[in-house]
């Protein structure tokens, strides 16, 4: 006698599994790179009032989710032994036994193949570059073993988001996505240094490398602040080249205030405040940037100083 599927797999159990896998790859952190990718998409489709069509939009979203899932799963896999002995990370899914290593490899490989498959339906350039993109986004997870500049590799990995979105719409490279990519690199360097403050003592004892370990928290934080000021300047250059005006300027001021608050909180060296600085303020920065960019493209009449 066959039992109904709803009895074999209750909806609550299915939702619980989905939630577990989403937490495993930190799906909520997609909010960092995705707004920059969508902003790049909107500017690339400026002649269509920022909308490239549902097909391209859906493919960009799918590519972003696949690339990030692959990268995050790979990160959790290769760091699992370090996570096991780090008090801050010992409760993560792999060291805690909530997810099997085989399952983690399956979602890593599946999402990587998913990115290549999605890229095939975007355009030939995206398809040919997709394996290189996978190498870049996964390679970051190995860098803390041999370089102090691991933060730059993470920045490069996330900087692929606005470049990839631009290529999906235009099918060719351009100056604007390049500037936006540089700003993402500078942004990531800054807030990844802040995030690394939590593991300073652990990384130093384990021989893991970062600018925090190399320079110490105080000097690393100063470099993070300078990196964020470079990021802000590059965002200003992006807006200037894109011919943005009032809404974008307002957004830049909000972003500057968020960056300053982030560094003020980071200097408290409290885990609670570092998490606030890392997640909430950086999520605000990316969302504000997307909103003002969309506003400038969709409502060009707001550019009153043209």
Nearest-Å Rg of the Cα atoms of the chain is 20
Q: What percent of the chain has pLDDT over 70?
A: 90
CA distances (Å), 6 to each of 11, 16, 19, 21, in order?
7, 14, 18, 20
Domain architecture of the chain: domains with CATH: 27-302 (1.10.357.140)
| Structure confidence at residue 160 as a pLDDT band (50, 70, 90) | very high
The predicted structure's pLDDT at residue 105: 96
pLDDT band for 269, please (50, 70, 90 cuts): low
The number of helix segments (H) and strand segments (E) in the chain equals 16, 0
Average pLDDT over residues 214-220: 94
Buried b (16+ CB within 10 A) or exposed e, 134-172: bebbbebbebbeeebebbbbbbbbbbbbbbbbbbbbbee
For the chain, give the number of residues: 306
Are 83 and 89 in contact by the 8 Å Cβ rule? The answer is yes
Tell whether the model's pLDDT for residue 8 goes beyond 70: no
Computed from CA positions of residues 47, 53, 55, 61, in that sequence, does the dihedral angle turn out positive or negative? positive
Residues 6+ apart with CB under 8 A from 287: 31, 35
Tell me the pLDDT tens digit for each residue of 67-119.
999 999 999 999 999 999 998 888 888 988 888 999 999 999 999 999 999 99
Q: pLDDT band for 11, please (50, 70, 90 cuts).
A: low
- Residue 272 or 198, more confident: 198
What distance lies between CA 10 and its chain's CA centroid? 33
Judged on CB neighbours under 10 Å (0-12, 13-18, 19+), 88 is exposed
Helices in 171-241 by DSSP H: which ranges? 175-196, 200-206, 211-215, 217-241
Asked if pLDDT for residue 140 goes beyond 70, the answer is yes
Q: Give 121's Cβ-side CA count (13 Å radius).
A: 13
Which backbone phi and psi does 173 adopt, to 5 degrees? -80, 165
Supply φ then ψ for residue 19, to 5 degrees: -65, -40
Report the chain's mean pLDDT, rounded to a whole number: 89
According to DSSP, residue 50 is labeled T
Looking at residue 305, what is its pLDDT?
A: 44
pLDDT tier, 5 (very low <50, low <70, confident <90, very high otherwise): very low
């Amino acid at each position: 006698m066959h039992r109904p599927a709803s009895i074999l797999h209750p909806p609550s159990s299915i939702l619980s599994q989905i939630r577990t896998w989403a937490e495993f790859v930190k799906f909520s952190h997609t909010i960092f790179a995705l707004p920059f990718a969508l902003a790049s998409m909107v500017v690339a489709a400026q002649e269509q009032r920022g909308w490239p069509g549902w097909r391209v939009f859906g493919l960009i979203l799918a590519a972003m989710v696949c690339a990030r899932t692959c990268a995050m799963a790979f990160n959790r896999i290769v760091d699992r032994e370090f996570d096991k002995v780090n008090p801050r990370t010992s409760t993560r899914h792999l060291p805690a036994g909530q997810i099997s290593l085989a399952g983690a490899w399956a979602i890593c490989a599946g999402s990587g193949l998913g990115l290549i498959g999605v890229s095939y339906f975007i355009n030939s350039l995206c398809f040919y570059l997709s394996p290189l993109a996978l190498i870049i986004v996964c390679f970051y997870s190995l860098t803390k073993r041999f370089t102090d500049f691991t933060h730059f590799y993470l920045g490069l990995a996330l900087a692929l988001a606005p470049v990839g979105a631009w290529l999906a719409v235009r099918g060719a490279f351009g100056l604007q996505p390049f500037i936006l990519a540089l700003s993402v690199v500078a942004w990531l360097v800054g807030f990844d240094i802040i995030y690394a403050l939590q593991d300073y003592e652990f990384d130093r004892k384990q021989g893991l490398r970062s600018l925090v370990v190399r320079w110490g928290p105080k000097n690393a934080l100063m470099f993070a602040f300078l990196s964020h000021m470079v990021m802000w300047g590059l965002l200003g250059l992006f807006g200037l080249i894109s011919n943005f005006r009032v809404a974008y300027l307002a957004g830049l001021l909000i972003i500057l205030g968020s960056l300053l608050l982030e560094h003020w909180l980071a200097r408290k060296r409290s885990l609670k405040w570092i998490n606030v600085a890392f997640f909430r303020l950086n999520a605000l920065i990316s969302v504000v940037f997307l909103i003002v960019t969309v506003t400038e493209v969709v409502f060009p009449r707001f550019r009153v100083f043209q």
